[in-house]
Amino acid sequence: EDQVTQSPEALRLQEGESSSLNCSYTVSGLRGLFWYRQDPGKGPEFLFTLYSAGEEKEKERLKATLTKKESFLHITAPKPEDSATYLCAVQAADTGNQFYFGTGTSLTVIP
């Protein structure tokens, strides 16, 4: 059973059209939830870490939030350069130091 599920798989937005990406997790004893951005052919680039429910982090047009079951990555007034795949990963108490990744949401922002 997948421990991290991301939705939607793909999202197309007009420039300036705000939206949210979802990451649902089923691990027990969450140690951290991590958001990464991945451009084609590149390694994941770290965006945020969230450790506890209710926590929020912001960076430019991105805002990440966390509940006990899921995390949202809110994108406000996106620009074409925000186009990328956004990955969610979790680290849990019963999985040591390894990260479990979701399959990602491929975001395309159209000018």
Number of residues that bind other proteins (CB under 8 A): 23
Binding mask 53-82 for other proteins (x = CB under 8 A): ------------------------------
| Alpha-carbon distances, residue 45 vs 14, 38, 42, 84 (angstroms) | 24, 6, 9, 11
Distance CA 7, CA 68 (A): 17
Measured from the CB atom, is 44 or 78 closer to other proteins? 44
Interface of this chain with other proteins, residues 83 to 102, rule: CB under 8 A:
87, 89, 91, 96-102
| Alpha-carbon distances, residue 53 vs 16, 30, 57 (angstroms) | 28, 10, 12
Which of 13-21, 40-48, 55-63, 65-73 is the region at the interface with other proteins (rule: CB under 8 A)?
40-48
One of 42, 53, 59, 69 touching other proteins (CB under 8 A): 42
Cβ-proximal residues to 19 (8 Å cutoff; 6+ apart), any chain: 11, 13, 74, 75, 78
The binding site for other proteins (CB under 8 A) comprises 31-32, 34, 36, 41-46, 49, 87, 89, 91, 96-104
